[in-house]
Structure formats: C-alpha cells, structure tokens
C-alpha cells in the first residue's frame, strides 16, 4: 500500500454487483489497468457471489483481472434494505483498509447506491457511470440519488448530460464519454455465432432471447403478467434462449415457478447468466429479443434487432426507436408480435445513440488530467435558475 503512495499511483476501485454492470464497466477497467499511474481494484459483490445467479465473479476472473475482493452481501432471500445495508458495511470496511482515491460505480443498482453512500461517508471521491438516464420505476430514483452522491459524472450522451446538470451538478464535473458497453459491442473481438452456440450447447438455428425482470413497484401483478407472457411464448413454438432475471424482489417467483416449468420444453434453453461478449453475439443473430431488459432498448438497436418491450420497466427509456415495439401483458397481443418476427429474420436501421465505441479511451483521458483529482469532496448545488 505504501509503495503505491510513494509512486504517486492513484488507487481506483470499481464496485460491481451484477453481470450487467460488469459488462458495462469491463472496457473501462481493462483500459485503466493498461494506463500508467493507476492501481486498479475490483470489489465484487451482490449477484456475482451467488450460485443461483451463475457465480459470475468467475467471469471477472476469466478476463485476467487481478486484485478482486469478493464480498458476499447476502445469501438466500433478503430484503432490498438488508442488501443495501450489508453492502454498505462491507464496502465501508474495505474502503478503510484500501483507502482508495476514487470509487467508480455504475447505473441504478442498490450496490452502486451503497458504494456511493459509503464513499460519501468516508470522504472519498465517487465517479458515476451512466448517470442522467431515465430508468423508470424505483431504478430511476436510485440512479438520480447516486448522481447526487457522486463527484464526477461519466455520461453516455448529451441528453444524459443535460439531466445531470438539471440535478444541480457542476458542468465541469460532467464528461460525455459514451456508453462503455458499446466498446464491447463494436469490438472486432466478439466470438462467432458458432463459438457462442458451442460454448452454451445451443442447437437452435432460429431463436429469440427472453430477458424479463420483476418490476418492484408492480409485484402485485407479477404472477399474472409473467403467466401471460409465458403462455404466449409457449404457443408461438419459437425457440428461446432464456436468461434468468436479476435478484430484485420477485425474481424467485419467475425463476422457480415459471421458468422451472420451461426446463422440460425443448423450445427453451435456460441460463443463469451468459458472458457479455457471448450474449452480444447471440443477440446480434437472434430473430428478436423479448421482455423488459435494458438490452432491448440499448444494445439491440445497435444491431437493428427487433425488440418486443413488455410492460413499463423501460417505458421512460424509449424515444421513437423503430426497432422497439411496446406491449402490455396480454397474451394475444404478445403472441401476435412474436409471430410478426418469428418466421423471417428482420432487421431495422441501426441506431447509435450512446456513443461510438471509444468510451474507454475518453474515460482514461479524463482520469489522466491532474485537475480531476483536485475536485473537493464538498459539492455545491449548481442552481440553473439562479439570477446573476
């Protein structure tokens, strides 16, 4: 630890709690590890540490990333506030030992909120990746709360930058770098479809992807909503690659009760998780993606893949994207939409609204600036309505 201080290296810790946020942080982590003057650490927690969700900390290790601190924030069933509190305690203790110069969190998950809170309480700079987005439901509140707890903001586009300004953040602390997952999407190093199918023993030539998460503010209708969706999919007789939901309340209902019934159906292949690069290849060649994942409104449009967005979870994130169609939880409507895209593969015009695949380079350039490290912990509200 003292060696890093003597060498003047900046100690940066990335907090990751899910397969999704690691997929978005990965290019930034790898780029910063190659840059001079940084000691990069990973704090892996949440879903990464659970066997039921694929124990995806293994995927971090397979990337050749060292210095991974593994923390089990919960096991079995736990309420959101318990997971939040546990993550704050574990990460707070880690901060006191490691003494980072910068904490980097992503998105709108409670693990990121815990990281931002712990950083604020311990007077450590916090950088937030992809603030200013409109997540919808409770996720949106969490994302904006993380923005207010953060000192540095790396946003995906101009619209997000404007929203972060609206939240009272100093324009000098906001950097538009693009979305990090686009770096991976546009990479020439993605596996081939043959490689992806072999890795996951997928025998389908024609298939779609299902990614459906519980909406925490609509748990009362969850069972009915999932039942309508699953019935339509079964009746369609299309082949589906099904990826388990995240660990939000209600996920067990989806995984054990509904997805459990699909295990014996030859039209369905179920996975706790897919490695991000392989998921992208599988998505790129899919007939369509269905459900309520952000992948349908963020990644799919970069490939022109049709996305059937079901329910309200992504409602605030969709703005006139031709490839994305919105559907309520009614079997007949969902089935009709599936049939539209299941027989013949259709592609829409590619829409690139979240960067051009160079966010990792933009990110490192910002952190290599000396003045970025001179930002004070104490922030001031930038009042856009202030009369000068």
Domains and CATH numbers, the chain: 2-185+356-374 (3.40.50.2000), 193-342 (3.40.50.2000)
Q: d(Cα 226, Cα 18) in Å, to the nearest integer?
A: 22
**Per-position b or e across 297-327, b if 16+ CB within 10 A of its CB:** bbbbbbbebbbbbbbbbbeebbeebebbbeb
Q: Give the model's confidence band at 321: pLDDT under 50 very low, under 70 low, under 90 confident, else very high.
A: confident
Q: Which pLDDT value is given to residue 1?
A: 40
Structure tokens at 221: 């209708």
User: In a 3-state reduction of DSSP, which class is residue 297?
Assistant: coil
Q: What is the pLDDT of residues 205-250, one digit of tens each?
A: 999 999 999 998 899 999 999 999 999 999 999 999 999 998 888 8
Q: What is the pLDDT of residues 272-293, one digit of tens each?
A: 999 999 999 999 999 999 999 9
**For 235, phi and psi rounded to 5 degrees?**
-65, -25
- Is the pLDDT reported for residue 320 higher than 70? no
Q: With contact defined as beta carbons under 8 Å apart, do 222 and 324 qualify?
A: no
Q: What is the pLDDT of residues 293-305, one digit of tens each?
A: 989 988 999 999 9
Q: With contact defined as beta carbons under 8 Å apart, do 239 and 204 qualify?
A: yes
Which tops the pLDDT comparison, 320 or 311? 311
- The H or E element that residue 19 is part of is helix 19-34
- Is the pLDDT reported for residue 101 higher than 80? yes
**Apex CA 267: angle with CA 266 and CA 271, to 5°?**
90
**Apex CA 241: angle with CA 333 and CA 63, to 5°?**
135
Q: With contact defined as beta carbons under 8 Å apart, do 132 and 170 qualify?
A: no
- Is the pLDDT reported for residue 388 higher than 60? no
- Residues 130-140, mean pLDDT to the nearest whole number: 85
- Residues 260-269, mean pLDDT to the nearest whole number: 92
Q: With contact defined as beta carbons under 8 Å apart, do 205 and 238 qualify?
A: no
Q: d(Cα 328, Cα 312) in Å, to the nearest integer?
A: 8
Give the position of tokens 């349908």.
Answer: 296
Q: What is the pLDDT of residues 16-46, one digit of tens each?
A: 999 889 988 999 999 999 999 999 999 999 9
- Residues 183-200, mean pLDDT to the nearest whole number: 93
Q: Using a cut of 0.85, tell me whether the model's pTM lies above it.
A: yes
């Amino acid at each position: 630890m003292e060696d890093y201080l003597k060498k003047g290296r900046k100690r940066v810790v990335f907090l990751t709690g899910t397969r999704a946020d690691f997929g978005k942080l990965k290019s930034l982590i790898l780029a910063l590890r190659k840059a001079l003057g940084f000691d990069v650490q990973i704090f892996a927690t949440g879903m990464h540490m659970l066997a039921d969700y694929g124990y995806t900390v293994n995927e971090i290790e397979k990337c050749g990333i060292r210095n991974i601190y593994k923390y089990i924030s919960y096991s079995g069933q736990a309420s959101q506030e318990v997971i939040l509190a546990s993550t704050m305690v574990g990460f707070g203790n880690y901060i006191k030992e490691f003494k980072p110069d910068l904490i980097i969190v992503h998105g709108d998950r409670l693990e990121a909120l815990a990281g931002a809170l712990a950083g604020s309480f311990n007077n450590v700079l916090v950088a937030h990746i992809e603030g200013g987005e409109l997540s919808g439901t409770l996720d949106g509140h969490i994302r904006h709360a993380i923005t207010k707890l953060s000192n540095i903001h790396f946003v995906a586009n101009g619209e997000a930058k404007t929203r972060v300004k609206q939240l009272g953040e100093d324009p000098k602390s906001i950097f538009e770098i693009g979305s990090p997952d686009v770096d991976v999407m546009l990479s020439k190093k993605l596996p081939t479809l043959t490689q992806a199918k072999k890795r996951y023993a997928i025998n389908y030539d024609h298939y779609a992807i299902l990614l459906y998460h519980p909406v925490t503010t609509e748990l009362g209708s969850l069972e009915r909503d999932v039942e309508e969706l699953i019935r339509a999919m079964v009746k369609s007789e299309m082949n589906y690659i099904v990826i388990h939901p995240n660990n939000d309340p209600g996920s067990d209902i989806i995984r054990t009760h509904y997805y459990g019934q699909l295990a014996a159906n030859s039209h369905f292949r179920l996975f706790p998780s897919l490695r991000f690069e392989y998921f992208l290849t599988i998505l790129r060649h899919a007939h369509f993606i269905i459900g309520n994942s952000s992948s349908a409104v963020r990644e799919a449009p970069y490939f022109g893949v049709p996305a059937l967005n079901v329910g309200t979870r992504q409602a605030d994130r969709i703005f006139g994207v031709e490839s994305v169609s919105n559907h309520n939880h009614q079997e007949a409507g969902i089935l009709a939409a599936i049939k539209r895209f299941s027989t013949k593969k259709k592609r829409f015009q590619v829409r690139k609204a979240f960067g051009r695949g160079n966010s990792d380079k933009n990110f490192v350039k910002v952190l290599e600036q000396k003045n970025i490290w001179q930002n004070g912990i104490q922030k001031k509200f930038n009042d856009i309505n202030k009369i000068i």
